[in-house]
């Protein structure tokens, strides 16, 4: 079974589904047949709008990323600034301690001044111990010492035996530069020579068993390198090795790529092209950074020039962890995506509402055009009906009178031709009657909307129809059942027009039954202010294609007549402000429900 609701006033139909096999008919103007906004134009607008949102979102993320990188760079510059200040203090103390001269009055030196000096001595002692270990293992050679001296920035390193004879040396030096009696006191002598221009300082380390002595010579460049190195190392120690700063590693290299100080696990190798080190050393860049993955963690590798005594002495490289900044970026990325999603949703909804609104207005225009066409067609049909009535009725009357006289006065004398004569005259009479019926249908259809509404009982109208069709349904073997309300509802109606409409519905139900069957008429209160007249038959039913056409004046399945019965009924119900519901299933039956207002609402033409 399937059910549809027809509202003749606005031609909109409510669909009521009661079973999967229902057939639904609706008379709506097709939407989407044309539109103000073509789909391609809507797609282009959406694409441009979404593209702008994406670009803005990407720009915001990049701007935030740049800001966060700037914060990390500023933090790194602050750390390097602290290291520079501490290293400068250590270097100043070291120079102050080394500039004490024997011929000058003794000036007390603060204890802090001897700390970097002690570090320098310890560093040189460690170099001597490293050479001594190779000496003990018989791995010493002049090539080794030469390479060792170049790597460590030493002028010369020599190994002497118990007798003070040079066994190995990295380079040859004038004899007068070699101390005659090396001892631990040579350390103080070395520091007395630090401030003397173009002088070479020596430090001699004697084995505990007195089996030999290691002599290390430093020129001014070497002294500057080792003084800077121990000053920077002590500064890094005072800073705590960069611990607790979110630092993965910290390293300072001088201008000759030699490491001055380091902390943390350093990367095994840096590619020179990764950073513009030459520009940093020249002072053209104050900071440079890059994002890398180090030990499976995101870090920001930063290069910053290091200044001592107002000059660039090296480059600081440090890796600051980016986990917190990545979380901020990720969170902001999510927020931007959510904002973009909501914005795109709003954009799509706005465009969709605009599109649907325009199409709805367009559909209304199309519907009005169709209604205007239909009104013009009906008007032309009414004019045609009036013309047909005027032009054809008189000739038809003359033909009818002539055929009657012909049948009465001109019967053939030959009895064998009498039968054929009667058939021919009968055909003429029937065709004249059929033409008169066609004219009446035209005239009735053209006058269907001109209603004269008056209060009248509904059941009395139906009872007249039952009395009129009683003999016909009895002859066909059809049962006509009635179920009236008591008392009968009284509604405003044009009694003749409504009777004609209901008669068409009932006759249509009777004609749909072949053989025996049943037609049930029911009147009940549907809802407040509405009366429901139901006509149920057990006829052949209708297909979906037939249901879609039943109220079309241009459609008919009858061999005789114009098929204007249901369209005429539709127009009459529409004029009364009512609705029509159609429920049908093929080979089962059809139900027509006519809802009429119980109060007068005006003639809805």
DSSP letters for 124-193: HHHHHHHHHHHHHTT---HHHHHHHHHHHT-SEEEEEETTS-EEEESS---GGGS-SS--TTHHHHHHHT
- 3-state SS, residue 543: coil
How far is CA 143 from its chain centroid? 70
Share of the chain above pLDDT 90, in %: 7
Residue 211 confidence (pLDDT) above 50: yes
Q: Which of 210-224, 321-335, 379-393, 498-512 has the lowest mean pLDDT?
A: 379-393
Mean residue pLDDT of the chain comes to 76
pLDDT tens by residue, 371-391: 888 778 777 766 766 666 667
pLDDT at 168: 85
- Look at 73 and 8; give whichever has higher pLDDT: 73
Task: Give me the residues paired with residue 479 across strands.
Answer: 518
Q: CA-CA distance, 177 to 173, in Å (whole number)? A: 7
132 contacts: CB under 8 Å, gap ≥ 6: 205, 207, 214
Average pLDDT over residues 51-55: 83
CA–CA separation, 164 vs 167, rounded Å? Answer: 9
For residue 470, pLDDT beyond 80: yes
pLDDT for 537:
93
Structure-model confidence comparison of residues 202 and 498, the more confident one: 498
pLDDT-wise least confident of 21-35, 42-56, 296-310, 546-560: 21-35
Phi first, then psi, for residue 111 (nearest 5°) are -60, -30
Average pLDDT rounded to a whole number, residues 483-489: 86
Helices and strands (H, E) in the chain, number of each type? 12, 18
> Above 70 in pLDDT, residue 55?
yes
The segment with the largest mean pLDDT, out of 6-20, 75-89, 102-116, 233-247, is 75-89
- The residues near 151 (Cβ < 8 Å, ≥ 6 apart) are none
Confidence of residue 25 (pLDDT cuts 50, 70, 90): very low
User: Is 80 exceeded by the pLDDT of residue 259?
Assistant: yes
- Residue 56 predicted with pLDDT over 90: no
Strand partners, 127: none
The percentage of residues in the chain with a pLDDT greater than 70, rounded to a whole number, is 75
Q: How far is CA 41 from the centre of its chain?
A: 19
Peptide bond preceding 126 in cis form (omega within 30 of 0) = no
- Taking residues 550-576, report their average pLDDT: 72
Poorest-pLDDT segment among 52-56, 91-95, 146-150, 580-584: 91-95
Torsion of CA 435, 438, 440, 445, to 10 degrees: -170
Return the H-helix or E-strand segment holding 9. Answer: none
Beta bridge partners, 213, equal 160, 206
Express each pLDDT in 282-319 by its tens digit.
878 888 888 888 888 888 888 999 998 888 888 998 88
Question: 352-371: per-residue pLDDT in tens?
Answer: 887 788 788 888 888 898 88
Which tokens sit at 556?
A: 């008919």
Segment 401-411 shows an average pLDDT of 81
What pLDDT shows up at residue 110? 41
Say yes or no to pLDDT of 536 above 90.
yes
Tokens 């209708």 correspond to what residue? 542
> How much is the pLDDT for 162?
79
Instruction: Write out the two tokens for 129.
Output: 């111990």
Of 464, 476, 549, 574, nearest to 518 (Cα)? 476
Angle, CA of 377, 380 and 383, to the nearest 5°: 150
Q: Report how far residue 341's alpha carbon sits from residue 338's, in angstroms, rounded to the nearest whole number.
A: 5
Residue 542 pLDDT: 86
**CATH code given to domain 2-19+21-26+448-597:** 3.30.565.10
Average pLDDT of the residues in 544-554: 75
Query: Given this model, what pLDDT does residue 246 score?
Result: 77
Tokens found for residue 171: 């380079």
3-state helix, strand, coil in the chain (%, to 5): 50, 20, 30
Length of the chain: 605
In this model, does residue 134 exceed pLDDT 90? no
Give the CB-side neighbour count of residue 358, counting CA atoms within 13 A. Answer: 14
SS3 category, 303: strand
Q: Alpha carbon of 598 to those of 6, 299, 454, 570, 581: distances in Å?
A: 18, 82, 12, 18, 17
Mean of pLDDT values over 41-47? 74
pLDDT value of position 18: 41
Least confident of 168-177, 272-281, 339-348: 168-177
Domain boundaries, the chain: 2-19+21-26+448-597, 45-321, 326-441
Predicted local confidence at residue 309, as pLDDT = 86
Reference 190, options 218, 222, 225; nearest CA is 218
pLDDT at residue 13 above 90? no
């Amino acid at each position: 079974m399937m059910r549809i609701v027809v509202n003749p006033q606005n031609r909109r139909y409510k669909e009521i589904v009661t079973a999967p096999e229902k057939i639904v008919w609706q008379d709506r103007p097709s939407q989407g047949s044309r539109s103000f906004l073509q789909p391609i134009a809507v797609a282009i607008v959406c694409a441009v709008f979404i593209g702008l949102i994406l670009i803005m979102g990407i720009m915001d993320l990049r701007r935030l990323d740049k800001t966060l990188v700037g914060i990390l760079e500023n933090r790194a510059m602050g750390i390097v600034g602290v290291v520079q200040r501490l290293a400068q203090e250590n270097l100043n103390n070291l120079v102050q301690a080394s500039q004490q001269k024997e011929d000058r009055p003794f000036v007390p030196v603060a204890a802090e001044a001897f700390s970097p000096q002690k570090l320098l001595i310890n560093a040189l002692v460690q170099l001597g111990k490293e050479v001594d270990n190779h000496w003990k293992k018989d791995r010493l050679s002049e090539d080794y010492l030469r390479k060792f001296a170049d790597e460590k920035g030493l002028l010369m390193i020599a190994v002497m035996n118990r007798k003070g004879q040079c066994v190995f040396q990295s380079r040859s030096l004038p004899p007068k530069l070699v101390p005659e009696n090396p001892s631990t006191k040579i350390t103080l002598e070395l520091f007395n020579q630090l401030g003397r221009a173009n002088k070479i300082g020596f430090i001699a380390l004697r084995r505990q068993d007195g089996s030999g002595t290691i002599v290390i010579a430093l020129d001014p460049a070497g002294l500057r390198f080792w003084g800077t190195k121990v000053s920077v190392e002590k500064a890094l120690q005072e800073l705590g090795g960069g611990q607790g700063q979110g630092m993965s590693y910290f390293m300072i290299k001088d201008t000759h790529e030699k490491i001055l100080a380091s902390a943390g696990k350093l990367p095994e190798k840096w590619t020179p092209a990764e950073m513009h080190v030459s520009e940093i050393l020249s002072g053209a860049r104050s900071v440079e950074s890059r994002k890398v993955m180090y030990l499976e963690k995101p870090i920001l590798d930063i290069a910053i020039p290091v200044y001592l005594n107002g000059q660039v002495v090296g480059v600081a490289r440090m890796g600051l962890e980016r986990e917190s900044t990545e979380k901020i970026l990720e969170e902001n990325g999510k927020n931007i995506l959510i904002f973009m999603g909501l914005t795109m949703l709003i954009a799509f909804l706005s465009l969709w509402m605009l599109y649907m609104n325009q199409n709805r207005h367009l559909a209304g225009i199309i519907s009005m055009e169709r209604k205007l066409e239909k009104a013009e067609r009906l008007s032309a049909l009414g004019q045609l009906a009036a013309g047909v009535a005027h032009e054809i009725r008189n000739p038809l009357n003359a033909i009818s009178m002539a055929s009657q006289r012909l049948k009465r006065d001109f019967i053939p004398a030959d009895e064998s031709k009498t039968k054929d004569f009667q058939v021919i005259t009968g055909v003429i009479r029937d065709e004249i009657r059929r033409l008169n019926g066609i004219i009446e249908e035209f005239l009735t259809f053209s006058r269907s909307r001109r209603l004269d509404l008056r209060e009248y009982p509904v059941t009395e109208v139906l009872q007249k129809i039952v009395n009129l069709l009683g003999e016909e349904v009895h002859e066909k073997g059809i049962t006509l059942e009635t179920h009236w309300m008591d008392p009968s509802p009284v509604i405003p109606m044009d009694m003749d027009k409504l009777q004609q409409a209901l008669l068409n519905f009932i006759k249509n139900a009777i004609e749909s039954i072949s053989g025996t069957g049943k037609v049930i008429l029911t009147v009940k209160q549907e809802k407040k202010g509405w009366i429901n007249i139901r006509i149920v038959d057990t006829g052949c039913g209708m297909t979906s294609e037939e249901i879609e056409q039943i109220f079309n004046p241009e459609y008919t399945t009858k061999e005789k007549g114009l098929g204007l019965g249901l369209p005429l009924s539709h127009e009459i119900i529409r004029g009364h402000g009512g609705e029509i519901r159609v429920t049908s299933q093929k080979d089962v039956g059809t139900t027509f429900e006519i809802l009429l207002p119980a109060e007068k609402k005006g003639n809805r033409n």
